[in-house]
Chain A
């Protein structure tokens, strides 16, 4: 029996180990991908094992070393972190499966480098998920930013270089200028940066100062893509689709909203958060992001760009959930991390499949493709339902809780925003499968006889995430249980 605390370390080390296996086995693609799948499976298995300990009320903790006096590089498993880790490690396996079909089908170069940084990025996400204090979180947050840069700029074209600049520029600028300042400020006020149930900032400074710190945190977490710091997300779409799918629908962006939730619950504490002057104001910034990003998504004909803006909009749901400062909001926000991850990754998988098979990027040129690729577009339909929040897809639960949260907070206006945004997404997401199934293909389109369904590994991946999306409508218990643990710890 391995010591529980060590399991945390294993979860962090396995992806790194996988990354170096990829480097060593680079010349033999089949062995290389098997190695990634195996380490992915092992990682998920260990993360899953931690769930059992949480249910027993344990909080596995691993302290590596003291970086500077008083600040440790330390990890601690709590329900919110475990939720994020479960989502990221499970989808890593699925995405690897998908990437095998995609990268080969699309004849991408430098696949070894791709799978290497991919695994490192997962290690970064694990570090973010399990970090026990703000310092550790910040360190892994930046590692995640840096190791995804080679993935975003994978094609090394001029376009990739420019997108890479925007990506790194916004993410590093916000994190260094705002988030780091907020962290050091917190350290000065509270004399600790450990995540603690009930928060650490209560009573340390005036409402105004704490509000300022909250503003710095919300905008400093650039990965949460709250407007006006959202431009990096569409820019990152130059990356190969598996990157967009796992990193810019799951690991990277969820690391951002996860950080916001974590700070709200464990640094401020929802009781304190509800009393701050800036909270309501920031909730409306998130609401504005939800609507504006949906409106932009409307106008995008490029499918990946549309999905990117949809992601920006959905991320702000989670930020909003945190800023509602009540249990409903936190539960809804946390569940939406999982629900949106499974839904959006399905959409990205489908978009990538269309690109590989039919070489089409624009929605207006996908008319009629649904008849030749029914599974892909069927999955797209299911994923869309989840994002919109309609049954029978998991997203309806998180949206339900978020809606309850707005009412609990007495913000009917915010509820109206959620409704309006769902209506908008109903249109801009369902337009894609509807046109693919029912419209006639454009005359010059050459997707005639040659087009089949996506490569088999990719198709299996799409199938898994789409079924999970439906499954979470009927069995949302796991995510709900974890989030209840988060708020019940906080309530007392």
Chain B
């Protein structure tokens, strides 16, 4: 079984999804979802430890050798992404039961879990596959299920949000498939390793830069890099709480992974950064994202929306790290994939707790929640401190490496913007803290603490924020390995 692990990681959830739909009982479907996510987490951790110990794992689907069949390749880069996706999935699934019962009508709950497992399948598939067309297929699986999940939100605006995402997401996917098609025309292969071999011969043509451009736009749209982020705030705001927590911590991360895979492994650093000068696009956009989106976040009255804009800013940090194209910069970016998943997961889950008890996450409804829901709001505070980058939280570790990467290249102003972003984060986090702790609650509402099944997954992530902020040697070690793999693949 160990040998088949790469494919079982994807196949087990893929089979579990229709089962969840067919069982058609909320509880049973939920149990299937939990089982599927736990399996994925086990497989992901196993793959990570294998690849860290013994290098890249190659798996031929159906026994067909690479150029003919589809190959799955697991190296430290995607094993890391798979672990992030599976971990968040395994925490959101148990969390979802209570939260979903409150926010989605009962007859749709089995479909919800089916879509949830499919989305997980798609995200895992994108990460493990070594075939670019397969990437597109899984991208569509994850996107379509995500559109459905978002549309299940209880607010009617969820429908328009989902539609908006559908249009933008389809445009992005189309751009990606055009880019893949152009590469296929020039090289005759869809396998990533073969592409990396053959592209240098034809990189002088006009077609390859065009393919590169299409892919850049398509992928940055998927990962919501400013200014292609417009689908994100509405989608995060109106989706069911569990969906927001899941998608915010995973979908954009997988987008960032695609960026890394295409531009470092397939096109290579020399072509992407020396010839196409990708950093000249990515770095300014990342910096603008960090500053403007944090500023926009400060003015939000809906906390989920506030966190959504904060996510766009945080994606700026990841892309910024990548745009340095150095080991230190990539380490920072890859590290922040994980760290940001921990903090945003915790923050969105705590907002799910608020949604469950209060029925809204608008600031004016959160008066005095610090007293009424102490554990929920404490989770928000710790997650927020991590977002700001206070020492002994994961956010600090990300900043530590990101600033170092900037200083290493003598870019003082960039280091300044990174730290400025922290201060803007302080402003939007504190806005919520003040409402929760300094205003009197309306005692007639009788709000009590969220149930344990919501609090426990939330606090697992909160403690993760602290643990990986105090003992970051493992996560930094993996991120550094991943960065070296990506840069070594010249």
Chain A contacts to B: CB under 8 angstroms: 65-69, 73, 135, 138-139, 142-143, 146, 153, 156, 158, 160-161, 165, 168-169, 172-173, 176-177, 180-181, 184-185, 187-188
Contact = CB atoms under 8 A, between A and B. Distances in A.
A176 B387 CA distance: 13
Given A153-B438, A187-B404, A73 B470 contact: yes
A69 B438 CA distance: 40
Given A67-B470, A67-B471, A176-B423, A184 B403 contact: yes
B426 interface: yes
B385 interface: yes
A138 B403 CA distance: 16
Nearest to B438: A161
Interface string B390-418: 11100001011101100110000001100
A68 B430 contact: no
B390 A177 contact: no
A42 B420 CA distance: 42
**Max chain B C-beta neighbours (<10 A), residue from A66, A73, A156, A181:** A181
A222 B171 CA distance: 49
Contact of A68 (B389, B416, B437, B473): B473
B220 interface: no
A269 B423 CA distance: 31
B419 interface: yes
B188 interface: no
A181 B456 CA distance: 36
A160 B397 CA distance: 32
Given A73-B470, A177-B423, A188-B404, 5 more contacts: A68-B397, A68-B401, A165-B430, A172-B388, A172-B426
Nearest to A188: B407
Interface string B460-490: 0000000001111100110000000000000
A139 B390 CA distance: 8
B434 interface: yes
Contact of B403 (A69, A161, A173, A180): A180
Interface string B372-395: 000000000000010011111000
Interface in B53-95: none
A73 B467 CA distance: 13
Nearest to A187: B404
Given A153-B438, A184-B403, A69 B473 contact: yes
A161 B440 CA distance: 13
A20 B385 CA distance: 22
B422 interface: yes
A138 B391 contact: yes
A377 B388 CA distance: 45
A180 B390 CA distance: 10
A65 B470 contact: yes
A153 B470 CA distance: 28
Given A177-B419, A188-B408, A65 B471 contact: yes
A68 B476 contact: yes
Contacts of B437: 156
A73 B470 CA distance: 8
Interface string B422-436: 110010001000100
Nearest to A157: B438
Nearest to B440: A156
Given A68-B476, A188-B407, A176 B392 contact: no
A59 to B, nearest CB: 24
21 contacts: A67-B397, A67-B473, A68-B400, A68-B401, A138-B391, A156-B438, A161-B438, A165-B430, A169-B426, A173-B423, A173-B426, A176-B423, A177-B419, A180-B399, A180-B419, A181-B416, A184-B404, A184-B407, A184-B415, A185-B407, A188-B408
Contacts of B416: 177, 181
A146 B390 contact: yes
A138 B473 CA distance: 19
Nearest to B476: A68
Contacts of A73: 470
**Max chain B C-beta neighbours (<10 A), residue from A143, A160, A172:** A172
A181 B415 CA distance: 8
B404 A176 contact: no
A181 B471 contact: no
A168 B419 contact: no
A68 B415 contact: no
Contacts of A176: 388-389, 419, 422-423, 426
A156 B433 CA distance: 12
B385 A146 contact: yes
Contact of A139 (B385, B392, B403, B423): B392
Contacts of B415: 181, 184
Nearest to A176: B422
B389 A168 contact: no
Contacts of A65: 470-471
A165 B469 CA distance: 26
A251 to B, nearest CB: 18
Contacts of A184: 400, 403-404, 407, 415
Interface string B152-187: 000000000000000000000000000000000000
Nearest to B473: A66
B391 A135 contact: yes
**Max chain B C-beta neighbours (<10 A), residue from A66, A146, A169, A180:** A180
Nearest to B370: A156
Contacts of B430: 165, 168
Contacts of B472: 67-68
A138 B400 CA distance: 12
B362 to A, nearest CB: 20
Contacts of B473: 66-69
A232 to B, nearest CB: 14
Contacts of A68: 397, 400-401, 472-473, 476
**Max chain B C-beta neighbours (<10 A), residue from A169, A176, A188:** A176
Contacts of B401: 68
Contact of A69 (B392, B408, B434, B476): B476
Q: Which 4 A-B pairs have the closest CB atoms?
A: A139-B391, A161-B438, A184-B403, A68-B472
Contacts of A188: 404, 407-408
B424 to A, nearest CB: 11
A152 to B, nearest CB: 12
A21 to B, nearest CB: 20
**Max chain B C-beta neighbours (<10 A), residue from A67, A156, A177, A188:** A67
Contacts of A135: 391
B330 to A, nearest CB: 15
A69 B471 CA distance: 10
Given A67-B470, A139-B392, A146-B385, A181 B419 contact: yes
Nearest to A180: B419
A66 B391 CA distance: 14
A161 B434 CA distance: 7
A143 B469 CA distance: 14
A251 B139 CA distance: 55
Contacts of B392: 139, 143
A146 B389 CA distance: 13
A69 B423 contact: no
B249 to A, nearest CB: 22
Contacts of A160: 438
Contacts of A181: 403, 415-416, 419
Contacts of A168: 426, 430
A138 B392 CA distance: 10
A66 B477 CA distance: 12
